[in-house]
Chain A
Amino acid sequence: MKWSEFFVTGEPLIYAADVAIVLTMVGIVFVLTYFKKWKWIWNEWLTTVDHKKIGVMYIICAVLMLFRGGVDALLMRAQLTAPNMNFLDAQHYNEIFTTHGTIMILFMAMPFIIGLMNIVVPLQIGARDVAFPYLNALSFWLFFFGAMLFNISFVIGGSPDAGWTAYFPLAGNEFSPGVGNNYYAVSLQISGIGTLMTGINFLVTILKMRAPGMTLMRMPMFTWTILITCVLIVFAFPVLTVALALMTFDRLFDTQFFTMANGGMSMLWANLFWIWGHPEVYIVILPAFGIFSEIVSTFAQKRLFGYKAMVYSIVGIAFLSFIVWVHHFFTMGAGPAVNSVFSITTMAVAIPTGVKIFNWLFTLRKGKIRFTTAMLWSLAFIPNFVIGGVTGVMLAMAAADYQYHNSYFLIAHFHYVLIAGVVFACFAGLHYWYPKMFGHMLNERLGKWTFWLFMIGFNVCFFPMYFLGLMGMTRRMYTYSDGLGWTPLNVVATVGAVLMGIGFIVLCYNIYYSARYGERDMTGDPWNGRTLEWATASPPVHYNFPVTPVVDDLDAYWVMKKKQGGFQVKEEELKPIHMPSNSGRPFWISVAFFVAGFGLVFKWFALAIAGALFIVLGLILRSFENDDGYHIGVDEIKRTERAARKGA
């Protein structure tokens, strides 16, 4: 392989990126060495099995990926602002929309949600950690190294360029020679394994580690949504695992799954991809619904309206999500019988979602509403998401979809549900749980600036796209002609995108500013919250609760505050606490996955096998592991609790 095939050459922006990457790596090594933090980063972060720290690491990665995905978006908007622009050629444009989609869904939304899940769920159920802390760490590092593998593609070897949906035959060897789509197949596979493990982990955690008295129907709504999301993860991700494996076999070993000759069936890829892909979007949106439920009830200071209906709705949505997938390819030719059935199931899934919207509205009714930043994001979600939702019902009508499919109408629809649904929830959840994560608040004034810039920018960017779609503008086109009348709305859309970018910058500034000057959370309960995570210090001590709380009712902490003035712990009740030990193996096993993956991408099979052997070694060492963790003695607990209460 020539150097010019290994490194991406000929593009000034890519060379600039190469320089930036090298400088960043050197910078990180320099800072760690200068401040003598190697041991700290290894002991406190790289080997941690603590769900709170793992959650923080997920969120940091998600924000960085939001930056990269956002830059991709701005590049696309720049290219499309005017007809016949030469800013990005077709190949480059294809690479950018592919990385934009893949990064935003798999490396931004998923880790953000999983990060919040990690930080919040064990606290909400009164547990000390998740069921399998070591596995949790492995999940994170697999995600991280899968994402790393995907992210280096644009400078080493070349980005995937067949769209985030990677349809065959385009994604096959004949039409996409080169390593780009190998990166897609392998990196998503690695991250996907991590996600599957997270699903299993949280499912067992929620089912078996709830505090005494917390029956399923007394769980916080966020925890409910995570429970159901985990069921979706466990049953949907294996489909992706197989689909990506078949893609890998076709690309690397010349099998005939999705080829155009020898019996292969290209369209089977789309079928398998979407059997996973549809539940995937519910995997990101259900936790978002859970976040909104928490925030709306907290800042309306009212119990969530219709708890049971909310639970049944989530279960209904999850059940239906597995039987709607064909709506992603109504135009592929399955015929009227198939299309009709899936049209009906797709429209049906809108119903439980509608129930939830009404329940949020009824929660707000007669509540004492506090307009914090988190609440603003949640309030804006309702109308904006509904716009996305109703356009979804339009798309669900198979016959009509022949007009909308793969036009800008579709792009507008899914950005309305994904941004107004998932991204708003991530921002809302970030503001809401920030004090719990870091011990200080995010600045409210800056938060509101971010909100207005981003929310208005989002509408200015994507609302015109409904009309562009109806006017005939197709998805994934790198330029368009003059005289079609599409230019004005494209200009408007670009303005909106820029506003969103500015909003994001303000958010980053907020994070920096608040770290230096932010208001510290001394009580652990800055919002007068309703659920158990607010009964801990901010940030919580490493074992979360000195004793396991006993739960009497829904909104457990609210009830505790009413009855007893808070979470009371008697020192006589303290017992030694068993904690799991840190481990470097999840990190090293994931490095081995990265190495093996890199080998597969470039078909350097010796490297791939070497990586695989290290993975197996890691598993064997784990099997023989005898480390049972350690105990925190009662004296240490007393000291830690007193220090936490003093607001140290």
Chain B
Amino acid sequence: MGTNGHHESFPWKHLIGFVLSLLLTFAALWVALSSGLPLKAVIVVIVLFAMIQASLQLFMFMHVAESDSGKVQTFNMVYSFFIAVVVVAGSVWVMQFVL
């Protein structure tokens, strides 16, 4: 219970979140367009960067773990993300037989 925002005098969390998000965005762009890595590696890396950036924003911008319901909220996001992976990966895998 209780939150922290109001003891800070400067929005450090937000600034760090913003800067890191920018870095991850440009890094992903570079990996995809200029790194010369093989396709599979590129995909793995940019998806990883996306997941890191998303988690960063959930915690730094959205305060997902804050409040009495913090644990429920976090679990909710984690589980919905798990379902998302099942739906996306599952659909791609199941439907790949269709030419």
If the complex has contacts A207-B69, A207-B72, A208-B69, are A235 and B95 also in contact, measured as CB distance less than 8 A?
Answer: no
Chain A neighbourhood of B79, CB < 8 A: 231, 235
Q: What are 16 A-B contacts with C-beta separation under 8 Å?
A: A208-B69, A231-B79, A265-B95, A267-B95, A267-B98, A268-B95, A268-B98, A271-B91, A271-B94, A275-B90, A325-B90, A333-B98, A334-B94, A334-B97, A335-B97, A338-B94
- Number of B interface residues at 8 Å Cβ cutoff, please give it: 14
- Taking the complex as formed, is A326 at the interface, i.e. its CB lies under 8 A from any CB of chain B? yes
The minimal Cβ–Cβ distance linking A317 to chain B, given in whole angstroms, is 15
Chain B neighbourhood of A325, CB < 8 A: 90
- Taking the complex as formed, is B43 at the interface, i.e. its CB lies under 8 A from any CB of chain A? no
Chain A neighbourhood of B83, CB < 8 A: 235, 322
Instruction: Report whether A275 and B97 are in contact in the complex, using a CB–CB cutoff of 8 Å.
Output: no
- Taking the complex as formed, is A495 at the interface, i.e. its CB lies under 8 A from any CB of chain B? no
Q: How far is the CA of A268 from the CA of B92 in the complex (A)?
A: 10
Instruction: Report whether A239 and B87 are in contact in the complex, using a CB–CB cutoff of 8 Å.
Output: yes
Most chain A C-beta atoms within 10 Å of own C-beta, residue among B87, B91, B97: B87
Instruction: Report whether A333 and B97 are in contact in the complex, using a CB–CB cutoff of 8 Å.
Output: yes
Chain B neighbourhood of A275, CB < 8 A: 87, 90-91
Q: List 4 extra interface pairs beyond A235-B79, A265-B95, A333-B98, CB under 8 A.
A: A271-B95, A275-B91, A334-B94, A338-B94
Cβ contacts B67-83/A at 8 Å (1 or 0 each): 00100100000011001
Instruction: Report whether B72 and A323 are in contact in the complex, using a CB–CB cutoff of 8 Å.
Output: no
- Taking the complex as formed, is B86 at the interface, i.e. its CB lies under 8 A from any CB of chain A? yes
Please report whether the interface of chain A is mostly helix, strand, loop or mixed according to DSSP: helix
- Taking the complex as formed, is B10 at the interface, i.e. its CB lies under 8 A from any CB of chain A? no
- Taking the complex as formed, is A644 at the interface, i.e. its CB lies under 8 A from any CB of chain B? no
The minimal Cβ–Cβ distance linking B79 to chain A, given in whole angstroms, is 7
Q: How far is the CA of A325 from the CA of B95 in the complex (A)?
A: 13
Chain B neighbourhood of A207, CB < 8 A: 69, 72
Chain A neighbourhood of B97, CB < 8 A: 333-335, 338
Q: Which residue of B lies closest to A338 (CB)?
A: B94
Chain B neighbourhood of A322, CB < 8 A: 83, 86
Instruction: Report whether B80 and A235 are in contact in the complex, using a CB–CB cutoff of 8 Å.
Output: yes
Q: Which residue of B lies closest to A231 (CB)?
A: B79
- Taking the complex as formed, is A272 at the interface, i.e. its CB lies under 8 A from any CB of chain B? yes
Instruction: Report whether B86 and A338 are in contact in the complex, using a CB–CB cutoff of 8 Å.
Output: no
Q: How far is the CA of A338 from the CA of B95 in the complex (A)?
A: 10
Q: How far is the CA of A268 from the CA of B95 in the complex (A)?
A: 7
Q: How far is the CA of A272 from the CA of B79 in the complex (A)?
A: 19
Q: Which residue of B lies closest to A242 (CB)?
A: B87
Q: How far is the CA of A268 from the CA of B86 in the complex (A)?
A: 15
Q: How far is the CA of A325 from the CA of B90 in the complex (A)?
A: 10
From B69, B80, B87, B94, A326 is in contact (CB under 8 Å) with B94
Partner-A contacts on B (CB < 8 A): 69, 72, 79-80, 83, 86-87, 90-91, 93-95, 97-98
Chain B neighbourhood of A267, CB < 8 A: 95, 98
The minimal Cβ–Cβ distance linking B50 to chain A, given in whole angstroms, is 20
Instruction: Report whether A323 and B86 are in contact in the complex, using a CB–CB cutoff of 8 Å.
Output: yes
**Interchain residue pairs A-B with the least CB separation, the first 5:** A235-B83, A334-B97, A334-B94, A335-B97, A338-B94
The minimal Cβ–Cβ distance linking B64 to chain A, given in whole angstroms, is 16
Chain A neighbourhood of B91, CB < 8 A: 268, 271-272, 275
Chain B neighbourhood of A338, CB < 8 A: 93-94, 97
Chain B neighbourhood of A272, CB < 8 A: 91
Q: How far is the CA of A208 from the CA of B90 in the complex (A)?
A: 34
Chain B neighbourhood of A326, CB < 8 A: 94
The minimal Cβ–Cβ distance linking B54 to chain A, given in whole angstroms, is 18
Q: How far is the CA of A32 from the CA of B75 in the complex (A)?
A: 50
Chain A neighbourhood of B90, CB < 8 A: 275, 323, 325
The minimal Cβ–Cβ distance linking B69 to chain A, given in whole angstroms, is 7
The minimal Cβ–Cβ distance linking A243 to chain B, given in whole angstroms, is 11
The minimal Cβ–Cβ distance linking B94 to chain A, given in whole angstroms, is 5
Q: How far is the CA of A267 from the CA of B98 in the complex (A)?
A: 8
Q: How far is the CA of A267 from the CA of B96 in the complex (A)?
A: 11
The minimal Cβ–Cβ distance linking A202 to chain B, given in whole angstroms, is 14
Chain A neighbourhood of B69, CB < 8 A: 207-208
Q: Which residue of B lies closest to A335 (CB)?
A: B97
Q: How far is the CA of A275 from the CA of B93 in the complex (A)?
A: 13
Most chain A C-beta atoms within 10 Å of own C-beta, residue among B69, B91, B95: B95
The minimal Cβ–Cβ distance linking A289 to chain B, given in whole angstroms, is 21
Interface residues of A in 311-339 (CB under 8 A from B): 322-323, 325-326, 333-335, 338
Q: How far is the CA of A400 from the CA of B86 in the complex (A)?
A: 26
The minimal Cβ–Cβ distance linking A203 to chain B, given in whole angstroms, is 9
Chain A neighbourhood of B86, CB < 8 A: 322-323
Chain A neighbourhood of B95, CB < 8 A: 265, 267-268, 271, 334
Q: How far is the CA of A271 from the CA of B86 in the complex (A)?
A: 12
Interface residues of A in 20-35 (CB under 8 A from B): none
Q: How far is the CA of A455 from the CA of B95 in the complex (A)?
A: 41
Q: How far is the CA of A271 from the CA of B91 in the complex (A)?
A: 7
Interface residues of A in 150-199 (CB under 8 A from B): none
Chain A neighbourhood of B80, CB < 8 A: 235
Q: Which residue of A lies closest to B80 (CB)?
A: A235
Chain B neighbourhood of A323, CB < 8 A: 86, 90
The minimal Cβ–Cβ distance linking A601 to chain B, given in whole angstroms, is 28
The minimal Cβ–Cβ distance linking A105 to chain B, given in whole angstroms, is 21
Q: How far is the CA of A275 from the CA of B94 in the complex (A)?
A: 11
If the complex has contacts A208-B69, A275-B87, A323-B86, are A265 and B98 also in contact, measured as CB distance less than 8 A?
Answer: yes
Q: Which residue of A lies closest to B91 (CB)?
A: A271
Q: How far is the CA of A91 from the CA of B83 in the complex (A)?
A: 39
Chain B neighbourhood of A268, CB < 8 A: 91, 95, 98
Chain A neighbourhood of B87, CB < 8 A: 239, 275
Cβ contacts A263-276/B at 8 Å (1 or 0 each): 00101100110010
Cβ contacts A237-281/B at 8 Å (1 or 0 each): 001000000000000000000000000010110011001000000
The minimal Cβ–Cβ distance linking B32 to chain A, given in whole angstroms, is 24
The minimal Cβ–Cβ distance linking B95 to chain A, given in whole angstroms, is 6
Most chain B C-beta atoms within 10 Å of own C-beta, residue among A239, A322, A323: A322
Q: How far is the CA of A325 from the CA of B86 in the complex (A)?
A: 11
Chain B neighbourhood of A239, CB < 8 A: 87
Q: How far is the CA of A429 from the CA of B52 in the complex (A)?
A: 47
Most chain A C-beta atoms within 10 Å of own C-beta, residue among B72, B79, B90: B90
Q: How far is the CA of A335 from the CA of B93 in the complex (A)?
A: 11
Q: How far is the CA of A335 from the CA of B90 in the complex (A)?
A: 14
Chain A neighbourhood of B94, CB < 8 A: 271, 326, 334, 338
Q: How far is the CA of A267 from the CA of B94 in the complex (A)?
A: 10
Q: How far is the CA of A330 from the CA of B57 in the complex (A)?
A: 40
